[in-house]
Structure 1
Amino acid sequence: MLILLVDQVLKFWIKTNMAIAEQFPMISDWFYIHFIENEGMAYGLKFGGEFGKIALTLFRLVAVVIGFFYMKKLVREKYHTGLLICGALILAGAAGNLIDSMFYGLIFSASTRYEVAQFLPEGGGYGTFLHGNVVDMLYFPLFDGTLPSWVPFWGGEHFIFFRPVFNIADAAISVGVIAILLFQKRFLVKKTEETHPTVETGAIVDDRQQVM
């Protein structure tokens, strides 16, 4: 719930305070808040045009519902806390982008390079149900320069790392998935109940025994 809240609060602020492609630095020249929107998957990837967008939104909805019940199962069966945390990150990230896709087209006017979006505009939103765009804003150009000429294929070309712009939801999904892959041997086990030896009640104790 905390990840979902932070994700949506930041997106709401970005949407109602910034125009498309507007940016400002957060830390030096390697971390910016840079507002873009995407119609598809995480990190700006797209899938299959208009039909693909609806299919992707419905897929997110099904994934979130299944993920919620699967998380309940993992908690009930007492799986490793690390797995539960990673699962919660993935579920929160999927839900965050799902909210954008389902409702942002209804509740916001369009964001452009020259106009900031309005919340609940009089003429209605920029899209219909399931046709909202996902808001992205986290941009980390850790390296921005020209590659050395000896680099195969791209030598001498301008190169930016890390180029994709993403959001809190994307980051939560990525961290959750990577952590599960790295620690799967530790995470994918159930907790076992500890057993302790018991003393039989009513047993006769010999008072002649002494502790040496």
Structure 2
Amino acid sequence: MSLKKSIYLIVIILLIDQISKVYIKTHFALQESIEVFTWFKIFFIENDGMAWGTKISDFVSFIDDRTAKVVLTLFRIIAIFGIGYWLYDAAKKQSPKVLILAIALIFAGALGNIIDSVFYGVLFNDSHGQVATFLPELGGYDTLLHGKVVDMLYFPLWEGYLPEWIPFKGGEYFTFFNPVFNIADMAISTGFIMLIVFNRKAFAKNKIESDI
């Protein structure tokens, strides 16, 4: 897979990701949802931290949330340059197609969420109890680097009360597959899964060169 094709793929994923996020942000209030199927909903939430909503300040108590947010965003920006170089190097060395495809997916997803984190606080006003406006006259809901990541894809495949005989959780209301995510998250997850499942194929050329 060539670098040119990888860039095309990245651009397509970024467009789908950002168009879907801008649409949700400008048509839904926070926590608003629409049921597409019983097992699939469009549910608008915003993620202020890392994966699963965790924050750096949850682990490092002496850093406040706003400082932690900037640290996380800057780390993501540095990481994207590293991933970009990895993609360029893999394409230049004509690495296996599965490796280049996986890196391109991870790069596109990471960049998609970075755009939210860096710019959305300036580009949109608040979504609490209202539909946000793009480029509001009174300014955005926060400053540069303090944007929140927009999530909207929710797949509650099963909801109900667990049987009493299940240890610890018996009798509790449970939702199977509770995370809410976005297109960028899907791209990142798919890329990592490809690297894990097709590990031997993805790094086959590198292993052969190291043996020589």
The equivalent of 1:204 in structure 2 is none
The equivalent of 2:81 in structure 1 is 65
Q: Percent identity?
A: 50
Conserved in 2, the CA contact under 8 Å of 1:44 and 1:166? no
Q: Which amino acid aligns with 2:50?
A: M
Q: Which amino acid aligns with 2:173?
A: H
Rounded Cα–Cα distance in structure 2 between residues aligned with 1:6 and 1:69: 23
The equivalent of 2:6 in structure 1 is none
Q: Which amino acid aligns with 1:6?
A: I
Q: Which of 24, 45, 52 matches 1:36?
A: 45
Conserved in 2, the CA contact under 8 Å of 1:80 and 1:190? yes
> Shift of residue 189 of structure 1?
2.2
Conserved in 2, the CA contact under 8 Å of 1:43 and 1:166? no
Q: Which amino acid aligns with 1:105?
A: G
Give yes or no for the alignment of 1:143 onto 2:158.
yes
- Cα deviations by residue, 1:26-57 (Å, 9 ceiling, x for unpaired): 2x211000000010123333321222111110
Q: Which of 145, 148, 151 matches 1:130?
A: 145
Conserved in 1, the CA contact under 8 Å of 2:34 and 2:43? yes
Q: Which of 151, 156, 166 matches 2:171?
A: 156
> Shift of residue 180 of structure 1?
0.5
Conserved in 2, the CA contact under 8 Å of 1:139 and 1:163? yes
- Cα deviations by residue, 1:180-207 (Å, 9 ceiling, x for unpaired): 111100111239xxxxxxxxxxxxxxxx
Rounded Cα–Cα distance in structure 2 between residues aligned with 1:159 and 1:47: 27
The equivalent of 2:93 in structure 1 is 77
Whichever of the two has the greater Rg, that structure is 1
Q: Which amino acid aligns with 2:93?
A: E
The equivalent of 1:3 in structure 2 is 13
Conserved in 1, the CA contact under 8 Å of 2:90 and 2:100? yes
> Shift of residue 116 of structure 1?
0.5
Structure 1 moving runs of 4+ over 3 Å: none
Rounded Cα–Cα distance in structure 1 between residues aligned with 2:104 and 2:152: 22
> What aligned pairs does 1:1-212 form with structure 2 within 5 A after superposition?
1-26=11-36, 28-48=37-57, 49-112=65-128, 114-190=129-205
Secondary structure at the aligned position of 1:95 is classed as: helix
Secondary structure at the aligned position of 1:190 is classed as: helix
Aligned length: 189
Q: Gapped runs of 5+ residues in structure 1? A: 192-212
Conserved in 1, the CA contact under 8 Å of 2:86 and 2:103? no
User: What is the root-mean-square deviation in Å for CA atoms of aligned residues?
Assistant: 1.1
> Shift of residue 100 of structure 1?
0.2
What TM-score, normalized by structure 2, do the two folds share?
A: 0.86
What TM-score, normalized by structure 1, do the two folds share?
A: 0.86
The equivalent of 2:3 in structure 1 is none
Q: Gapped runs of 5+ residues in structure 2? A: 1-10, 58-64, 207-212
